[in-house]
Amino acid sequence: MATATSSVADICRTAKRAAAALAQTPTHAKDAALLAIARALESDTDQILLANEADMQAGEQDGMDAALLDRLRLDEARVSAIAGAVRQIAALPDPVGEVVEGRRLPNGLEMRKVRAPLGVVAVVYEARPNVTIDAAALCLKAGNATVLRGSSAAQHSNGALAQVAADAVVSSGLPEGAVSLLQGGDRAELGELATQRESVDLIIPRGGESLKEALQKLSTVPVIYAASGNCHVYVDTAADLEQAQSIAINAKVQRPGVCNAAETLLVHRDVAAEFIPRLLPALAACGVLVRGDQRTLSLASAGEGGRDPLDPGTLKGTGGELMLEAAQESDWATEYLDLVLAVRVVDSLAEAIEHIGHYGSGHSEAIVTRDRNAARAFQLGVDAACVYVNASTRFTDGGEFGMGAEIGNSTQKLHARGPIGLRELCTTKYLVEGDGQIRG
């Protein structure tokens, strides 16, 4: 496997040669390589976990927060799940050559628009070692070579995983350079990768806003941003409140350190007096800190003996300690990636949609309602990659969508939007066949 002991330019050129071969590789050969990766992950689990333990110890010593440590952590179950995702990708239909549309033109030409590999896809990501395998497997199935550039915080984990994948691919007869890893991790390396226009066809960053901003300044290669998620759940006046509570808690608590977790809860004023006092103790039982607007604080106080709603602090609730603070303007725009939830009471569905439009990141948004007209208005009015009715935002995921896995979730509108899976890792080309036609 090529690593950063070679120059970035050399690694990308090797990947370019590999991509030319992969574009012509039949499905059965790609699938055989994927299954070899899955088997190697399982047989080398101990080695992978030893590498991950080194990263975990370094992260703890450096004061890495709990959400990032959770992203970084691997165990036998997670490695097994990664291997399972690779097998799912192998079982999916090959997108390469898939006919998008076709027709016979009046001049007799037979025209087909088909999917084709992008070429070399560079994936830049932070402390999420599972992305190493997800990205390599998805790119391989779509006929692309991949250049991986992970975080220094996960360098041992990424190195072990990428080596397993690269060795399995080559042992299956596919070209050297199909999977490569840059291990340096510094900004200069990122800048060099971002300007390899002759070799790299696309960069997909998967990380926070700082990574996105860095690439916006540096990159001369096309970029699809797998961006951050400031996701909302809106509880409508016609909501089933028991269902709303279940969805709100799942969206926030089930895995708070991921981009499809809810960061803000919006509640219609007509149900707020009933819903908020019942929800807050349930959130407290899950260890969630609530940052509420003044109406939220007032409703919490009214349920707890009339405490001054303008004096935020700690309120005792039936579910435990209610950790309750006054929301600041910045809270509505914050992706916490932690057990923190901003809560606001709104006067209407239109106000909820306006709030999401102003503060949301275009990732995943949800409404809880039994009113079909309200649901439809929310679907039409909210501009996001994924819009849910009566379901948690946590479902925005390539695996959940039947795509096997994903490299990330695009909040852009060109080429790919939502989970970036196999079809999103392809471009298209027109195949045109004639019988001597010339244009007059």
Q: Is the pLDDT confidence value at 227 over 80?
A: no
State pLDDT tens for residues 41-73.
Answer: 999 999 999 999 999 999 999 999 887 898 899
Do the beta carbons of residue 261 and residue 231 sit within 8 Å? Answer: yes
Name the most confidently modeled range: 184-188, 334-338, 371-375. Answer: 371-375
3-state class (DSSP) for residue 341:
strand
In the chain, what are the domains? 8-226+407-433 (3.40.605.10), 231-395 (3.40.309.10)
Q: Is the pLDDT confidence value at 13 over 90?
A: yes
Q: How far is CA 255 from CA 70, 192, 387, in A?
A: 9, 34, 19
Query: How far is it, in rounded angstroms, from Cα 345 to Cα 156?
Result: 46
* pLDDT (0 to 100) of residue 415: 84
State pLDDT tens for residues 319-367.
Answer: 457 789 999 999 999 999 899 999 999 999 999 999 999 999 999 999 9
Q: Pick the closest to residue 349 from 381, 390, 383, 393 (CA basis).
A: 381
* pLDDT (0 to 100) of residue 320: 55
Contacting residues for 369 by C-beta, under 8 A, at least 6 apart: 236, 237, 238, 239, 375, 378, 389, 390
Query: How far is it, in rounded angstroms, from Cα 156 to Cα 47?
Result: 10
Do the beta carbons of residue 322 and residue 300 sit within 8 Å? Answer: yes
Do the beta carbons of residue 266 and residue 232 sit within 8 Å? Answer: yes
* pLDDT (0 to 100) of residue 365: 98
Four-CA torsion 110, 114, 116, 118, nearest 10 degrees? 110
With cut-offs at 50, 70 and 90, classify the pLDDT of residue 315: very low
Query: How far is it, in rounded angstroms, from Cα 365 to Cα 391?
Result: 10
Sign of the dihedral through C-alpha 405, 408, 409, 415? negative
3-state class (DSSP) for residue 287:
coil
Q: Beta strand pairing status for 262-268 and 320-326?
A: unpaired
Q: Which residues pair with 123 in a beta bridge?
A: 148, 204
- The secondary structure element, H or E, covering residue 295 is helix 294-302
Do the beta carbons of residue 396 and residue 421 sit within 8 Å? Answer: no
| Burial classification of residue 108, based on how many CB atoms lie within 10 Å of its CB (0-12 exposed, 13-18 middle, 19 or more buried) | exposed
**Of all residues in the chain, what percent carry a pLDDT higher than 70?**
94
Q: Beta strand pairing status for 409-410 and 418-419?
A: antiparallel
Q: Which two tokens stand for residue 242?
A: 């028991």
State pLDDT tens for residues 413-431.
Answer: 888 899 999 999 999 999 9
Query: How far is it, in rounded angstroms, from Cα 190 to Cα 350?
Result: 42
State pLDDT tens for residues 116-135.
Answer: 999 999 999 888 899 999 99
Order of strands, sheet of 340-346, starting from the edge strand that comes earlier in the sequence:
313-317, 320-326, 289-292, 340-346, 262-268, 231-235, 364-368, 386-389
Do the beta carbons of residue 153 and residue 207 sit within 8 Å? Answer: no
